[in-house]
Amino acid sequence: MNKRLAMLTNWLNEENIDVLFINSIENVYYLSNFYTDPHFCYNDKKRK
């Protein structure tokens, strides 16, 4: 885990925050060093 993500995880734990929603490409890259579009749609219902 990189330092930025570790610091964020520690802060979330200290503040008892259970969920974090990151929805910008820049923030995903800043925290993970992985450049991707975080917007996607997932449907777990089986298609007929």
* pLDDT block averages, 10 residues each, the chain of length 48: 87 93 85 75 59
pLDDT at 5: 87
Residues in the chain: 48
User: pTM value?
Assistant: 0.61
Q: 41 in a domain, yes or no?
A: no
Q: How many domains does the chain have?
A: 1
pLDDT at 46: 63
Contact 38, 28 (CB under 8 A): yes
Q: 45 in a domain, yes or no?
A: no
The alpha carbon torsion through 14, 33, 24, 43 (nearest 10 deg) reads -90
Q: 43 in a domain, yes or no?
A: no
Q: 9 in a domain, yes or no?
A: yes
pLDDT at 2: 85
pLDDT at 13: 95
> Closest by alpha carbon to 12, among 31, 35, 25?
31
Q: 48 in a domain, yes or no?
A: no
